[in-house]
Structure 1
Amino acid sequence: MGHGPLSRFTVLDLTRVRSGPAAVRQFADWGATVIKIEEPGQAPDDKPGGSAQFADYQNTHRNKRSITLNLKHPEGRALFLELVRKADVVVENYRPNVKFKLGIDYESLRKVNPRIVYGSVSGFGQDGPYHERPGLDQIAQGISGMMSVTGEPGRGPMRAGIPVADLTAGLFCAIGLMVALLEREVSGQGQWVQTSLLQSQLWMMDFQAMRWLMNGEVPGQSGNDHPTSSPTGVFPTQDGYMNIAAMGNDIFARLCKVLEVPELIADERFLTVPLRARNRPALNAAIAERTLTRTTGEWIGRMNREGVPCGPILSMNEAFADPQVEHLRMSQPIEHPRLGTISVVGQPVILSRTSLGELAPAPESGEHNHDVYRSLLGLDPARIEALTAQGVI
């Protein structure tokens, strides 16, 4: 911590669970001094039993320092404002009204530090008819249309297997904070950065959203098949399943060559991209008849030699054992004081001149109280102990 391209920034982290921490993790990984602020004596719901040894917590809150601070106590709020004077960024993902009740909203903090950049992640936005509703990932997936296009036709709505709304909201918050910090270099002023699970999930709907916005077409479920391109989907093999994505006429012709079914190229049902999409069931059946004759590995070798996009469908353990995943170092080691060497998910960004650096484990609650309060606020040990006894920190 304290090294890397973002080492000049100090971030006060008021977030919990996933969306906010996903934003702050980008700062922590790239070297910012991130101070996680937790309520004294509380075990947050993203830290079961109060233990930072929980696997998800280690991944989400790595590279941070932790202090405890009671923001509901007048002295606690006063200490927080002193921290704000020395910080660059504050990030929170409370329900929209909570920060105002605590007196730590953007307008209150900018009076203390006009350069502060304030990030808020919520379920549905900071205002509007839904802004006070509790917002969770699956709720945003449902409202955004995501669940209406995920899963097999006729089987009912299906959520994604990861918290995609939480994670993308966190990433968009991080992007917004970076933009605001860059703008601050020109204006000298901070600003309030806002995003929500709902906005982020709607952005992620991408071409499915555009099918409606431009064409008036309401997309439905297509299971493992691509919604508009065929053949693109999951096909059975002799020993399992594989993905094939033969978009366009040239790649379709190469696929037919590999499968040794050249007659499909001239079949009137499959002559064009729209025709192949319209006659998808017949085309999929013809391809599946051939893919069942060899193993997944054999087909992948043959298709890659001919430039046909394809790949296996791996379980989580198989994914991290994949040679390309290993090459990309997407599993990163961390030395934990009690657990020894553990692994967390690596950063998906590579910079040509700047390395990620060594990762540090997620902290225990209040682990850095003495260090942070002494170094940033100049409090001596006796004062820190007194504040602890009073329930302020």
Structure 2
Amino acid sequence: MPRNRGKRALPLAIRHPGARAVFDRLLERADVALMNFRPGLAEQLGLDAPTLTRRFKRLVVGSVTGFGTEGPEASFAAMDPVVQARTGLMAANGRLNEGRPTSGDPVVADYMCAMSLAFGVSAALLRRERTGVGGSVDVSLMQAAMTLANNQLIRSEDEDAPRHERILGELAGLRRAGAGYAEQAAIMTSARTAPMLKIYLRTYDTADAPIAIACGSHSLRRKFLTVLDIEDSLLDKPESEGDRDHYDQLKGEVEAIIRAKPSTHWIARLNEAGIPVSPVKFPVELFDDPQANANGMFHRLRHPDAGDFTVLSPPVALDGDGFRSREPTAPFASETRTILRELDFMDAEIDEFIATEVTRENALESRSTL
């Protein structure tokens, strides 16, 4: 329901020799073919990018892998939580469950990978308009997750690398000693400085609900201090290791001030000063959110069997008829004959495909298409 709106489905037994004729008709007319097979399967089936782009010169083939196409882990299976763990994104996000690192409910690596694929395919289509030739686009869940952790994945080889080597040595020792995750995480450095972590880029408890503030520039930090009517004597000085005690003390003062009044007070005051601020919302609060609804961020969808649903609209607005919200996908296998006729197969050929189990037109029949 949330991901497949507007798609059409044609079930195919992809290992069946008779499926090749259908594949060829589809690919002859397609602009883009997207592949998400388990490692090695596309090559076995002759549906890998090199094979397809040789046969169909204008075709753009988009492929998704877990860990990239090369290297010792290229053949490993992957899903979002595993990739978040593998790339450091899970640790960077800092979410814990019973003292262990865990991913959040949104499958952020999956989503980032899909957006990367869409960007790459769009670029390949633009190139094709200029050259007349398609090509292949490769993305991986691993690279997508690393992109989300971009701020943590940059280092100075002169200054940071020696410190990282020391940290890795300490980490190895802790793991040999059986130390818990919290103890291991405590030795890690942060991409954010002490003033940002403790004061200027964080969440605060108010008298009724938490708020998030983001003072990403010096001028915003100055405005924040003005709203709270306090001073940061180190604001205009270079940061040093000795600043931690100062910011620990200032942290307690700021927390006490903000906790004394409700969230609406601080949101009004900080917005008036031009400081980015928001209440911390739960997803369930967004369905009737006036800001979301004013910008058409939700769409009411009627499913023929399940009833009415409120779902997200496309995240990109394009003038004209672009990026319209789509209706539910038709029941699986219900469009088999329609799609095959659009591919110029005769009814007798379609009957043969169904009789030989190349495809089916009954959604209730259950058997693997692999």
Give the TM-score normalised by structure 1.
0.76
1:91 maps to: 34
Q: Name 2:51's counterpart in structure 1.
A: 108
Map of 1:323-338 to 2, 5 A cutoff? 323-338=290-305
Q: CA deviation at 1:277?
A: 7.5
Q: Cα–Cα, structure 1 residues 108 and 155, in superposed 2: closer, same or farther, change >3 Å?
A: same
2:154 maps to a residue whose letter is M
Q: Identify the match of residue 209 of structure 1 among 153, 177, 180.
A: 153
Equivalent in the alignment of 2:271? 304
Residue range with higher mean Cα deviation, 76-85 or 90-99: 76-85
- Please give the per-residue CA displacement for 1:4-42, whole angstroms capped at 9, x wherever unaligned: xxxxxxxxxxxxxxxxxxxxxxxxxxxxxxxxxxxxxxx
The equivalent residue for 1:74 is 17
User: Which residue among 55, 76, 92 is the counterpart of 1:149?
Assistant: 92
Deviation at 1:313, TM superposition (A): 0.2
Residue of structure 2 equivalent to 1:288 = 255
Q: One-letter code of the match for 2:224?
A: L
Give the Cα separation in 1 of the matches to 2:111 and 2:136.
20
Matched, 1:227 2:170: no
* 2:206 corresponds to 1:237: yes
Task: Write out aligned runs for 1:1-393 (5 A).
Answer: 58-151=1-94, 155-211=99-155, 215-216=160-161, 227-228=192-193, 229=196, 230-259=199-228, 261-262=229-230, 264-265=231-232, 267-268=233-234, 270-272=235-237, 274=239, 278=244, 279-376=246-343, 378-393=344-359
CA contact (8 A) 2:62 2:121 kept: yes
Residues in 1 aligned to 2:327 and 2:192: alpha-carbon distance in whole angstroms: 42
Which 5+ residue runs of structure 2 have no aligned equivalent?
168-184, 360-370
1:174–1:358 CA distance, 2 compared to 1 (3 A): closer
- 1:71-92 C-alpha deviation (Å, 9 max, x unpaired): 1000012321221111111101
The one-letter code matched in structure 2 to 1:138 is: P
Aligned residue type for 1:391: E
Q: Contact 2:66–2:74 (CA<8 Å) still a contact in 1?
A: yes
CA distance in 2, matches of 1:384, 1:237: 66
Q: What does the per-residue CA deviation read over 1:150-172, in whole Å, with 9 as the maximum and x for residues that have no partner?
A: 21799553424421111111111
Distance 1:222 1:60, change over 3 A: farther
Local SS of the residue matching 2:129 = helix
Change (3 A) 1:288 1:152: farther
* Aligned residues with identical type, % of pairs: 27
Amino acid at match of 2:73: Y
Post-superposition offset of 1:94:
1.2
Structure 1 vs Structure 2 CA RMSD:
2.7
1:357-390 Cα offsets, whole Å, 9 max, x none, are 34121232212111110012x2233432331121
1:134-163: per-residue Cα shift (whole Å, max 9, x none)? 011112112212122221799553424421
> Alpha-carbon deviation of 1:190?
1.5
How far, CA to CA, are the matches of 2:84 and 2:224 in structure 1? 35
Report the TM-score, using the length of structure 2 for normalisation: 0.81
Give the partner amino acid of 2:77.
Answer: P
Q: CA deviation at 1:99?
A: 0.6
Q: Deviations over 1:293-327 (max 9, x none)?
A: 11111110111111222110000111333222112
Higher Rg of the two aligned structures: 2
Contact 1:67 1:369 in 2 (8 A): yes
In structure 2, what is the Cα distance between the partners aligned to 1:94 and 1:172? 18
Task: State the one-letter code of the partner of 1:245.
Answer: A
- Between Structure 1 and Structure 2, how many residues are aligned? 330
Q: Which amino acid aligns with 2:43?
A: F
What do residues 240-273 of structure 1 show as CA deviations (whole Å, max 9, x unaligned)? 21112223333223222322x33x23x35x5547
1:335-358: CA deviations, max 9, x gaps? 322233322211221224444334
Structure 1 consecutive aligned stretches of length 4 or more whose deviation exceeds 6 Å = 219-223
What's the CA shift for 1:280? 3.9
1:157-208 C-alpha deviation (Å, 9 max, x unpaired):
3424421111111111111111111111222221111110001111222121
